[in-house]
Amino acid sequence: MSSAKTPKPDELIAIRYEPPETPWMETPTIFRPGTWSYSGTAKSLTALGLPNPRAWQPSDADWKLPENWKEIILEGMRERLEKHRSFRLFMDICVRCGACADKCHFYIGSGDPKNMPVLRAELLRSVYRRYFTKSGKLFGRLAGARDLTVDVLKEWFYYFYQCTECRRCSVFCPFGIDQAEITMMGRELLNLVGCNINWVTEPAANCFRTGNHLGIQPGGIKDMLEFMADDIADRTGVRVDVPINKKGAEILFVTPSGDYFADPGTYTCMGYLMLFHEIGLNYTFSTYASEGGNFGLFSSHEMVKRLNAKIYAEAKRLGVKWILGGECGHMWRVIQQYMDTMNGPADFLEEPVSPITGTRFENARSTKMVHIAEFTADLIRNGKLKLDPSRNDAYRVTFHDSCNPARAMGLFEEPRYIISHVCNHFHEMAEDTIREKTLCCGGGAGLGNDENMEMRMRGGMPRAMAVKQVREKHGVNRLACMCAIDRATLTSLMEYWVPGVTVMGVHELLANALVMTGEKERTTDLRGEPLEGKAVDEAL
């Protein structure tokens, strides 16, 4: 936690939804502690080959920009307008209908009009008009145009790093304007002059250095997986294999590094190990492709491409047939929406077929990568798993659709299918907060750091309120999700807004219920908590 003091929930909830006293173009940006993220360090920028590595912070008056920073940004904007038709379209077509205005969790949680998606886009659009449209060049302010100044650049930084690229607003826009794409462009432009955040650049740099965001060395990954195997043996009496860097395995399994090292992700990872052992899967982990997440998505298209290529290079090196991906969020947005045109099609791999059920995953024909929820749901549907849902009877579960698998993949039914087969008490949150309308955890896109805690709690507030509702109505005490960032950020969010609700992965729930061949009588769940006589936490 940074030195910034996060207000208490009852203080934070007193949100003023009022227009500012001055027009938005004249309202200054104030870098209030707790609402912004630390800058990328010179070391990380140098490692990534990014421009203008230096020591600075967003709260400094002097950002130490290159002398010709304005030319760099405008030239970068021109290039991107020519290269990405969607960018020019999104700059031109908004009719300011306002349908998106109250759909962003950061606006709901802060009341700051510049967090309305329509106005967030306008931060960039106003500069686009000034330099790239006739009306803006001729009529300036009258045409909604403004000069690019240092203050405007600072405003971009503040608000493009208060957008989690969740794409909820685009669901409600009649034109499908994708604010996440606009934010990505804004961040790309900022990157050109060395303005980025460390929670994005350091994980990306680590990924090239050791293979994963957390900077875990290969030996550390091996040790962690073996510790998990020991814990599994302790809980179940079954010793599972931990195949790593196994050449000639049929499947490469890739998951976020949070699953190896951070609770509660580690329990989800134990779930994968147990499942793969039980079905006799011929698979391997990789220490080089030891990161599913792709923080390039939060900085530039070029970085997305470079990081994604690592996974496929490793699949080729190991000689696997196809790739299975774990419970991750933005990994799936990259695979689903960018991989094919950036690095694909992955024709050196085979179209994925489940070796257990024979199901052909035609949706992965080009990327050759299958989501673990699709894979597991198919196993259950074909009767390949013995499950005892009563082992999860102490849990009243609700499910948070992670933004990227939900909105980028449409992966709504598979996790629900699994959950409904592995536990007896499942309660959906309100309809307008789930599936494609799901609300963000408030800490995605690199914003899940401690110094930004107040903004995270504000942005996560709408999701937390939906959880609170099912807790009060049904006694929900477990929030299941399918994303490593969610598992980390929702944990802080629940502690702050809805104490008593614990976050867990879908495959942790599955593994609790999985009846393994030769197992001893289970007396605890994966966390080592007793199964028998466990009191159900009733509605508060």
Residues at the interface with ligand SF4 (CB under 6 A)? 94-100, 103-104, 106, 117-118, 120, 163-169, 173, 175, 177, 179-180, 183, 440
User: 3-class SS at 101?
Assistant: coil
Q: How far is the CB of 93 from ligand SF4 (least distance, A)?
A: 7
Q: Which is nearer to ligand SF4, 173 or 422 (CB)?
A: 173
Q: Which is nearer to ligand SF4, 41 or 162 (CB)?
A: 162
Are 445 and 299 within 8 A, CB to CB?
no
Q: How far is the CB of 498 from ligand SF4 (least distance, A)?
A: 21
Q: How far is the CB of 118 from ligand SF4 (least distance, A)?
A: 4
DSSP string, 194-221: T--BHHHHHHHHHHHHHSSTT---HHHH
Alpha helices for 95-149 (secondary structure H): 105-110, 117-132, 134-139
Q: Which is nearer to ligand SF4, 120 or 235 (CB)?
A: 120
Q: Which is nearer to ligand SF4, 117 or 194 (CB)?
A: 117
Q: How far is the CB of 95 from ligand SF4 (least distance, A)?
A: 5
d(CA 364, CA 402): 20
CA 307 remoteness from chain centre: 15
In sequence order, the 6+-apart residues with CB closer than 8 A to the CB of 149 are none
Q: Which is nearer to ligand SF4, 196 or 438 (CB)?
A: 438
Are 384 and 515 within 8 A, CB to CB?
no
Q: How far is the CB of 121 from ligand SF4 (least distance, A)?
A: 6
Q: Which is nearer to ligand SF4, 104 or 509 (CB)?
A: 104
Q: How far is the CB of 107 from ligand SF4 (least distance, A)?
A: 7
Q: How far is the CB of 164 from ligand SF4 (least distance, A)?
A: 5
Query: Which of 447, 448, 529, 493 lies closest to 159 in space, CA to CA?
Result: 447
Alpha-carbon torsion 340, 345, 346, 352, what sign? positive
d(CA 508, CA 527): 9
Q: How far is CA 384 from CA 41, 282, 356, in A?
A: 49, 16, 8
Q: Is 126 exposed, middle or buried, given 0-12, 13-18 or 19+ CB atoms closer than 10 A? A: buried
Q: Which is nearer to ligand SF4, 95 or 536 (CB)?
A: 95
Q: Which helix (H) or strand (E) holds 371?
A: strand 369-371
Q: How far is the CB of 441 from ligand SF4 (least distance, A)?
A: 11
d(CA 522, CA 389): 13
Are 133 and 208 within 8 A, CB to CB?
no
Q: Which is nearer to ligand SF4, 56 or 90 (CB)?
A: 90
Q: Which is nearer to ligand SF4, 106 or 497 (CB)?
A: 106
Q: How far is the CB of 453 from ligand SF4 (least distance, A)?
A: 17
Angle at CA 256, nearest 5°, toward 255 and 259?
90
Q: Which is nearer to ligand SF4, 166 or 270 (CB)?
A: 166
Q: Which helix (H) or strand (E) holds 153?
A: helix 150-160
Q: How far is the CB of 175 from ligand SF4 (least distance, A)?
A: 5
